């Protein structure tokens, strides 16, 4: 009886040992298979699958948070485009330069004053300047030339070159004749000169020069005014004034 019980106990122990070995092998195989499955599928899992796996295995939430990838978010910014603005500038009007002042020739100015002092009076509406005599009169040649013309009630004389006293006196007398000589006086002198003067006006002017300056100006052609006619011209030159 003891022998039978002893054999049964041994058999029972052996069976239990075999069962334990089988269970251990089964668990080992199960564990190894699960590890291979996780190693294979882990790279394809999303963050959500990782969380489920961690929950199934009772993984700490802190570890789950560490495993969950953080996707940075970038808020797009709109850069303002600076549009340069140009304020139109108005250029100030530049005044035209004033014409250069012509300084009267001192020598001519002295002669003009001498002629006026003698009694020849071209009038307050008369003025003189230095310039091109051909601008308002015909072209003239010589060391000194002069031209007298009237417009708008004004009388103007232009001198060029180096005029002498006789020429200056004749041009001032021309201005006085054009301002004041009456037709009857002009006709009288025109009859006397008989076409030997450049014009009746020049003939009257030469008479004024002869009377007030005491010499013939030789500025009216071949005409030579007599002293008697010079006196008469001087006496009646302003009859129409």
Residues in the chain: 241
pLDDT at 114: 97
Short-list 134, 116, 136, CA closest to 126:
116
Q: Is residue 153 within 8 Å of 181, Cβ to Cβ?
A: no
Q: 10 Å Cβ neighbour count for 190? A: 16
Q: Enter the tokens of residue 240.
A: 């129409």
Task: Give residue 184's Cα distance to chain centre.
Answer: 63
Short-list 146, 101, 153, 107, CA closest to 128:
146
> Quick one: average pLDDT of 136-159?
89
pTM score, two decimals?
0.57
- Dist. CA 50–CA 64, nearest whole Å: 8
pLDDT at 87: 56
Highest averaged pLDDT of the listed ranges 5-14, 73-82, 167-176: 167-176
- Interval 17-38: pLDDT, tens: 455 545 555 454 444 444 333 3
Task: Give residue 131's Cα distance to chain centre.
Answer: 35
């Amino acid at each position: 009886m003891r022998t039978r019980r002893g054999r049964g106990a041994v058999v029972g122990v052996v069976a239990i040992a075999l069962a334990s070995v089988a269970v251990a092998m089964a668990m080992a195989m199960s564990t190894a298979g699960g590890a291979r499955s996780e190693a294979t599928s882990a790279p394809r899992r999303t963050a959500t699958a990782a969380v489920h796996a961690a929950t199934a295995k009772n993984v700490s939430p802190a570890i789950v948070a560490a495993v969950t990838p953080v996707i940075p978010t970038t808020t797009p910014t709109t850069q303002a485009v600076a549009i340069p603005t140009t304020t139109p500038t108005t250029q100030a009007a530049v005044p035209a330069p004033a014409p250069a002042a012509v300084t009267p020739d001192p020598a001519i100015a002295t002669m003009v004053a001498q002629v006026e002092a003698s009694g020849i009076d071209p009038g307050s509406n008369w003025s003189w300047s230095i310039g091109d005599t051909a601008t308002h009169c015909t072209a003239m040649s010589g060391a000194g030339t002069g031209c007298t013309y009237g417009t708008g009630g004004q009388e103007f004389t232009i001198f060029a070159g180096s005029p002498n006293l006789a020429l200056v006196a004749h041009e001032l007398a021309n201005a006085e004749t054009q301002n004041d000589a009456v037709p009857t006086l002009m006709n009288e002198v025109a009859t006397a000169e008989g076409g030997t003067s450049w014009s009746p006006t020049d003939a009257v002017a030469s008479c004024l020069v002869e009377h007030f300056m005491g010499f013939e100006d030789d500025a009216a052609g071949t005409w030579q005014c007599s002293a008697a006619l010079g006196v008469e011209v001087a006496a009646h030159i302003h009859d129409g004034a």
